[in-house]
Amino acid sequence: MTGVHMTDTLDRDDVARTLDREHAEARAQAEARRQERAALAEDGAEAPAPRRGWRDFREAQHFQHAYLSIGPAQGALLYMLARAAGARRIVEFGSSFGISTLYLAAAAEDNDGHVIGSEYYANKREHALANLRDAGLAQRAEIRLGDALETLGDVTDPVDFVFLDGDKSLYLPVLECLLPSLAPGAWMVADNLDHFDETPGDFRHEILRDPRFTSRLIPVGRGMFSVSRHRG
């Protein structure tokens, strides 16, 4: 029996090569910071503890140059979810250096869709755009520069898929901003759900109880996704 061949852009050489390079850079940066903390400890100096909570994303010294990216396992899941959803209009909050954007743009290539990303720092946006060009996916994504509550405020077309991976305190405001544009049955994925303590008012607590969505928490890689479907 002859089947219809499905295109898997994630396996394309230019995409795989770009992702491999960026994941390697992210790992190298994390290892360099680990060694720096270890060296400080050996010298008796008090190393700054790794922080993952509510630091303001405008703290440029930390956030402007940090990868803070998803890993390969998370990226593969993100790609497959967007593919399975048939997502053609994808919105990303927090593009950073563009690793997650590459996975989403690969899904958009396969679904004949488009990604709208948002990034606060200009250097990160330029790096992400260069990655998209290297991967041959520049035509599938745009990345808007600035505060996401402003840059994503005019998204009006039906949105099929949302990925939240920016400043954690903005997850709920960004989602509320996009809610009027969500298509019935749209998917919403958020990273770093293990960073929330599930107290009333935080994203983890609210999304699991929001009657507008069906949601589940999925541990993947070294983190945790929430995967939600808009009841619409």
Spatial separation of the C-alpha atoms in residues 100 and 72, rounded to whole Å:
9
Q: Please enumerate in sequence order all residues whose Cβ is within 8 A of that of 146, keeping only pairs 6 or more positions apart, or say none.
A: 118, 120
For strand 89-93 and strand 159-164, is the pairing parallel, antiparallel, or unpaired? parallel
In the predicted structure, residue 49 carries a pLDDT above the cut 80: no
Map out the domains of the chain as residue ranges: 72-230
CB 70 within 8 A of CB 78: yes
Nearest to 77 by CA among 40, 106, 36: 106
Amino acid at 181: S
- Confidence grade of residue 54 (pLDDT, cut at 50, 70, 90): very low
Nearest by Cα to 111 from 140, 88, 144, 138: 88
For 65, the 3-state DSSP assignment is coil
pTM for this entry: 0.89
The superfamily in CATH containing domain 72-230 is Vaccinia Virus protein VP39 (3.40.50.150)
Q: Measure Cα distances from 171 to 54, 189, 215, 224 in Å.
A: 12, 11, 15, 15
Give mean pLDDT, residues 172-176.
97
| 75: DSSP letter | H
Higher pLDDT, 4 or 135: 135
For the segment 193-222, the average pLDDT, to the nearest whole number, is 95
H or E segment and range at residue 182 = strand 182-190
For 140-196, what is the HEC assignment?
A: HEEEEECCHHHHCCCCCCCEEEEEECCCHHHHHHHHHHHHHHEEEEEEEEECCHHHC
Residue 40: pLDDT over 80: no
- Check residue 198 and give its pLDDT: 87
